[in-house]
Structure 1
Amino acid sequence: MALENFRTDPGAADPLYVQLAAKLRSLIAGGDIDVGGALPSERLLSEQTGTSRVTIRKAIEQLVEEGLLTRRHGSGTYVAAPIKPPAGRLTGFTADARGRGVNASSVWIVKTTSSPASDEAEILQLGRSDAVARLGRVRLADDEPLAIEHAVVPMRMLPPLGEIGDSLYAALDRTHSRPERGIQKLRAAKATPIEAGLLSIPQDSSVLRIERTSFLADGTPVELTRSAYRGDRYEFVHDLTVEPAL
């Protein structure tokens, strides 16, 4: 890493850790530190830059908050790769994470049954007396919190709540109710204080709010899921084509 010649300017307006964070940010943007690559230890960075380990730690914390770096417990600090879910494919969080070679897990917020709210009943084509499962959880990849999901699913399409694990779609598979198509809406927003705490991001950080409705092949609605994904970690990419000129 090209930090041996780095020198902070004690007379500059920016604190030393901000100067060091700017240098690290520049190295990441320039490809001098590979995406997914590990940073040297705090001790080595301190020796290379001539700054204290407190300065190193504060610079790294700033870049972690920006989403450029990610910490792995017991392993170290790495350059974060933007997550690009496959465009045009209906996949769950668990399958997407496994496809990227990482371990998916969940921290449950709520797992219960109730009647649907009026908007949920309309979207899922249910009566107000029909039972739905409410499945709220924080989704993690390699123990890093990335999203908060709140799914509403008709109970008739699910196994008993106690048998639902990390993958909702795997549970739907068991009752032959796995969806085959879906409609997804995305918009940018600010994280609420509760969302920021659950996702371990600063307050007012950007999140992507995603509303997904999925259907069986015959058009029967299966799920209504509203999620907040970390805006610093996700990129949604779509191929575009040009329509023939008229």
Structure 2
Amino acid sequence: MPDRFERIFAGENGLAAGSGPLYIRLRNRVERAISDGLLGDGDALPSERDIAELADVSRVTVRKAVQDLVRDGVLVQRHGSGTFVSKPVARVEQPLSRLTSFTEDMSRRGWNARSQWLQRGIFAPSPEEMVALGLAPGDEVVRIDRLRIADEMPLAIERASISTQMLPDPQKVDTSLYAALDVYGFRPVRALQRISATNLRAEDAGLLGLEAGDAGLRIERISYLESGRVVEFTRSLYRGDAYDFVAELTIGKN
């Protein structure tokens, strides 16, 4: 075992020096090791048993200290892999009052945005798509499914459905769906969004660089033209640790 772990957990007379509950002292040791550079982003910690032996405490004490640090985002536990120092995630504050594309949002922040294509083509619509887009029997939809990435960090999975009447060629979509719709004269001007919390499934979590069951935000958006006609039906999953959606509220006068 590396000497640094002995310095962290057994040095300075172990946890005997200090006051307060043992698990708090152990927690403080880990946090200090991170701030001093002994533990870096993504570093793996020893097993629960090894830490208990080094620090001369019970495994229950170790478990409580680790759970505290995981809850506060200092550590992350990966099933079957172990416990690691969390890599800090830059949070994105997304206002809910403005309808913009992911590409526009990231450009405004000075971040480099790109997409990884998951699906792009023309399909027969599902019952859900027919209802959301107001399609008739025989109509077709374009599906644009992408992993949205900013500064090489996967932030969201977007699954958009658009009538082929408004987007005849899905290959016209490059970085921005709204830019492609604008070319055809069908850029949306308003939208309704429904946001809910979710636990990510294994496949989606893997795309976002997270673990199955991690927290995510599910957003369903229906966008409209000036005429009131629906142009876009999008279901997205956002990283729960990276996005803050902000709404400005005003108080009405009596």
TM-score of Structure 1 vs Structure 2, range by shorter chain: 0.7 to 0.9
Which residue of 175, 179, 201 maps to 1:166?
175
What is the match of residue 94 of structure 1? 103
Partner secondary structure for residue 110 of structure 1: strand
Cα 1:243–1:55 shift into 2, 3 Å: closer
Structure 1 residue 186 displacement after superposition? 0.1
Q: How many residues align?
A: 206
Task: Determine if the alignment matches structure 1 residue 218 to structure 2 residue 210.
Answer: no
Q: CA deviation at 1:243?
A: 3.0
* 1: CA distance, partners of 2:206 / 2:142: 25
Q: Give, in whole Å, the separation in 2 of the partners of 1:68 and 1:54.
A: 11
Q: Deviations over 1:138-182 (max 9, x none)?
A: 100011100001000011212522221121011101101100000
Normalised to the residue count of structure 1, the TM-score between the two structures is 0.73
Q: Match for residue 138 of structure 2?
A: 129
Structure 2 CA distance for aligned equivalents of residues 68 and 84 of structure 1: 23
Deviating 4+ runs (over 4 angstroms): 11-14, 16-21, 53-56, 65-69
Contact 2:125 2:139 in 1 (8 A): yes
Q: Give the Å deviation of 1:137.
A: 1.1
8 Å Cα contact 1:45/1:56 also seen in 2:
no
Q: Relative to structure 1, is the Cα distance of residues 24 and 108 closer, same or farther in structure 2, using a 3 angstrom cutoff?
A: farther
Match of 1:57 among 43, 47, 62: 43
Deviations 1:97-125 (A, max 9, x none): 11111011111111111121112111111
- Separation of aligned partners in 2, 1:142 and 1:17: 35
> What's the offset of the Cα at 1:242?
2.4
- Indicate the SS of the match to 1:146: strand
Q: Does the aligned pair in 1 maintain the 2:9–2:29 contact within 8 Å?
A: no
SS in 1 for 2:174: coil
Alpha carbons of 1:8 and 1:111: their partners in 2 closer, same or farther (altered >3 Å)? same
Q: Aligned match of 2:37 in 45, 62, 81?
A: 45
SS class of match (1:134): strand
AA of the residue aligned to 1:58 = A
1:232: Cα distance to partner? 0.2
| Distance in 2 (alpha carbons) for counterparts of 1:171 and 1:148 | 19
CA distance in 2, matches of 1:146, 1:96: 12
* Structure having the higher Rg: 2
Q: 1:20, 1:56 within 8 Å by CA — same for their partners in 2?
A: no
**Post-superposition shift, 1:23?**
4.2
Tell me which residue corresponds to 2:19: none
Matches of 1:55 and 1:144, distance apart in 2: 15
C-alpha distance in 2 between matches for 1:95 and 1:55 = 30
- In the other structure, the counterpart of 1:200 is 209
Which ranges of structure 2 fall in alignment gaps of 5 or more residues? 1-6, 16-21, 46-68, 77-85
Match of 1:104 in 2: 113
Equivalent residue number for residue 159 of structure 2: 150
Deviation at 1:85, TM superposition (A): 1.1
- The 3 A distance-change label for structure 1 pair 120 and 54 is closer
Deviation at 1:244, TM superposition (A): 3.0
Q: TM-score, normalised by structure 2?
A: 0.71
Change (3 A) 1:19 1:159: farther
Is the CA contact (8 Å cut-off) linking 1:188 and 1:209 kept in structure 2?
A: yes
Q: Which runs of 5+ in 1 are unaligned?
A: 1-6, 28-43, 47-52, 70-76
* Contact 1:67–1:232 (8 Å) recurs in 2: no
Q: Does the CA-based 8 Å contact 2:89-2:241 persist in structure 1?
A: no
On the 8 A contact 1:67/1:80 being kept in 2, the answer is no
Aligned to 1:230: 239
Give how far 1:58 is off.
2.7
Distance 2:153 2:73 in 1: 14
Deviation at 1:81, TM superposition (A): 3.1
